[in-house]
Structure 1
Amino acid sequence: MTVLPFLDIKATPVQSLDTALSSRQSAPETALPPCSSTRLTSSKRVSITPIRIQTPKIKILPRSDTTLRHLPVPKSAAVQAHNGIWKPLIREPADYDYLWEPLQREDIRHQYDQYVPPQRLTTSRPDEPYRMSSRFETQDRHFHNYRRTQAMQQKQWNKDHIQYTIYPYSQIAERESYNKYMRTSLKEQIKEKIQFDKTERGRKNLECQSIIEKDRQDLEQYKQKQQQRAKYLLEFTTKNKELMENKWAHDRWNRVHQWHVERVILADDPINWSKTLT
């Protein structure tokens, strides 16, 4: 029995199959040698070598993509100018029977820039003016909310991660533009930082000057208040001293006058007829 290898129907030309089948049909049938009627002894045995039939060689030709890449109808100017931004992020494995258009990174990067999420639907009840009925289904409403959530998450993911894919996955021209943008941004940030530091330094200088001037004015006012207080206390002390001295003088005069009055009264007293009591 002739054993043929595994044949790929798409990759194997029909001519090779015809050649293999014809060679199989035209293979000569070899007859086995007649068996000897003589009985072989145990000491002398004859071994019959089997005849090996060679498998015909089939030339397998690789399939070329030139036929698949050939466009049956040439693209018009309108078709070439069209650039559909909305394309799938993940595409199916390549099918050689379909001509895929190359997916650009710009399409993925900007596909959600102008996306506005629709309004979220309440899945438990229908919208107005419809009412709840036994035929109400929530499958489409759940799917609407699911697609809305997926689109919003993809938009946020692109916003957070797609900018980091510029350098390692882009062309040389885009890398150069990205490096130029980074250098320009860095220079602008340095200029803004220098200007901000200069403005902040000037503001702090003015603030320090105003604080120093305010402190000087406060010290001057405190000095004037202390002088006024010392002057007032000096006048108060002088007035108190004058009042105390006047009181002491009045007390001395009053005591001396009382003594004089007592002497006069005692002199006119009949008991003191001898004028010996003083």
Structure 2
Amino acid sequence: MKLPAISIPSTPVSLPQGTSPVRQSCCLLVTPMTFPIISGSARLWTSNQSIPRLNPLHPPLVHKRTVSLETPAVHHHNHQRTLIMQRREHYRYHQVWRKPFYGTSSEREEYRKELRDQLKRQIEEKCLALKLQLANKGKEAEYICEVDRLALSTEREQRIQHSKAMTAYRDENKRLMEQRWREKALTRSQEALKERELLRHNPINWSGTLK
């Protein structure tokens, strides 16, 4: 079943001066809302006043977000805001190098003073950085000396302990060797006494083993 087409009558709206016609969406003519739009004044881009960015889908004085409220005026406002910010940045950039060449004597002197102040500040920062570097190097040298002293002290203690251990090992070996020598001497003397006792009982030694 085909539904009949619904025609909504459109009412002509008088737009403000300098505003482009409103885009129609879904056969509806939307009335532009009243909100501040950037004027084409040439003095505005030199001011330091911040320009707010508008949301095309949520213009000012509208509490409901809807696509049908999107108007070219908001886009024009954002475009003009972008141009103003670009001009302001361009003016700020070119004002920096304009003073030393085309400025008055006071401006040139102020520019030279600013350069001298920056140079002094850089020299002070460099001297401070050099002092900090030297202080850090001194602390690092002290730390290295302390580490070296501790390493030498530890090595000396290790050498002393090693020397004591080796001395104890030597003394123990000497004692064991002397004890073995005494045991061997005692064994030999006992064997000699035994052989003399055997010779006394049997003086004939045919094999020649007893003396």
Cα separation, 2, equivalents of 1:120 and 1:220 = 71
1:274 is matched with which residue? 202
2:117 is matched with which residue? 188
Go from structure 1 to structure 2 and tell me whether the alpha carbon gap of 1:152 and 1:267 turns closer, same or farther (over 3 Å shift). farther
Cα separation, 2, equivalents of 1:165 and 1:244 = 94
TM-score for the superposition, normalised by structure 1: 0.46
The C-alpha deviation readout for 1:212-262, integer Å capped at 9, x for no partner, is: 222322232232223222222221221111111112112222223334455
* 2:151 is equivalent to residue 222 of structure 1: yes
Contact kept, 8 Å, 1:166 with 1:178, in 2: the verdict is no
Number of residue equivalences: 163
Go from structure 1 to structure 2 and tell me whether the alpha carbon gap of 1:237 and 1:173 turns closer, same or farther (over 3 Å shift). closer
* 2:46 is equivalent to residue 110 of structure 1: yes
In percent, how many aligned pairs have the same letter? 9
Matches within 5 A, 1:45-60: none
- Higher RCO structure, 1 or 2 (CA under 8 Å, sep 6+): 2
Go from structure 1 to structure 2 and tell me whether the alpha carbon gap of 1:264 and 1:154 turns closer, same or farther (over 3 Å shift). farther
Go from structure 1 to structure 2 and tell me whether the alpha carbon gap of 1:180 and 1:120 turns closer, same or farther (over 3 Å shift). farther
Go from structure 1 to structure 2 and tell me whether the alpha carbon gap of 1:233 and 1:168 turns closer, same or farther (over 3 Å shift). closer
* 2:74 is equivalent to residue 144 of structure 1: yes
Aligned-residue Cα RMSD (Å) equals: 3.8
Cα separation, 2, equivalents of 1:208 and 1:252 = 64
Shift of 1:186: 0.3
Please give the secondary structure, in 1, of the residue aligned with 2:52: coil
Shift of 1:190: 1.2
Please give the secondary structure, in 1, of the residue aligned with 2:68: coil
Contact kept, 8 Å, 1:109 with 1:158, in 2: the verdict is yes
Contact kept, 8 Å, 1:121 with 1:145, in 2: the verdict is yes
Structure 2 segments unaligned to the other structure (5+ residues): 1-38
Go from structure 1 to structure 2 and tell me whether the alpha carbon gap of 1:167 and 1:224 turns closer, same or farther (over 3 Å shift). closer
Shift of 1:173: 9.4
Q: Whose helix proportion is higher, 1 or 2?
A: 2
TM-score for the superposition, normalised by structure 2: 0.58
Specify the code of the residue in structure 1 equivalent to 2:173: M
Cα separation, 2, equivalents of 1:128 and 1:143 = 18
Matches within 5 A, 1:23-102: 88-89=41-42
Go from structure 1 to structure 2 and tell me whether the alpha carbon gap of 1:273 and 1:169 turns closer, same or farther (over 3 Å shift). closer
Specify the code of the residue in structure 2 equivalent to 1:110: T
Cα separation, 2, equivalents of 1:174 and 1:258 = 120
Cα separation, 1, equivalents of 2:193 and 2:97 = 130
Shift of 1:167: 8.1
